[in-house]
Amino acid sequence: MSERHKDGMKTRRTVLGDAHVDEAEARKTAFDEPFQDLIVEGAWGSVWARDTLSHRDRSLITLALLAAAGHWGEVEMHIRATANTGATPDEVREVFLHVAIYAGVPAANHALRLAKRTYAEMGIDL
């Protein structure tokens, strides 16, 4: 296992939480293992592990990009991750307001709906 993979797994666990990572690892098969390694080393080990931006800042940027691209399942996952990154619901709302202006109202509307539902599932009152 490379140092980048080790750093990536550490960062992934810090951001997404052990339960999420353990579940993802349990579902991993020989078929998707190369893809999972790519994510761990590329996204988590090469980008998220850098110290130039905080995990909070990367969390907010990621939510904006995911919402703008319509990757709704990932939006929900990264809203859950805000419990670990320190991004607040108010900051997430502001990100989605930005999405409305720069990527479209329908994307922001759906992202806000997902955020409300996900925060409710997390026991966070808005």
Is 84 within 8 Å of 16 (Cβ atoms)? Answer: yes
d(CA 114, CA 116): 5
Provide the pLDDT for residue 27. Answer: 96
d(CA 28, CA 109): 33
Average pLDDT over all residues of the chain: 97
| Cα of 79 vs its chain's centroid, Å | 7
pLDDT in tens, 66-114: 999 999 999 999 999 999 999 999 999 999 999 999 999 999 999 999 9
Provide the pLDDT for residue 1. Answer: 86
Q: How far is CA 18 from CA 35, 37, 91, 112, in A?
A: 20, 17, 24, 26
Is 114 within 8 Å of 76 (Cβ atoms)? Answer: yes
pLDDT in tens, 4-59: 999 999 999 999 999 999 999 999 999 999 999 999 999 999 999 999 999 999 99
DSSP 8-state secondary structure symbol assigned to residue 88: -
Is 93 within 8 Å of 100 (Cβ atoms)? Answer: no
Structural domains in the chain, sorted by start: 1-52 (no CATH), 53-126 (1.20.1290.10)
Q: Compute the Cα dihedral for 2, 46, 85, 72 and give only its sign.
A: negative
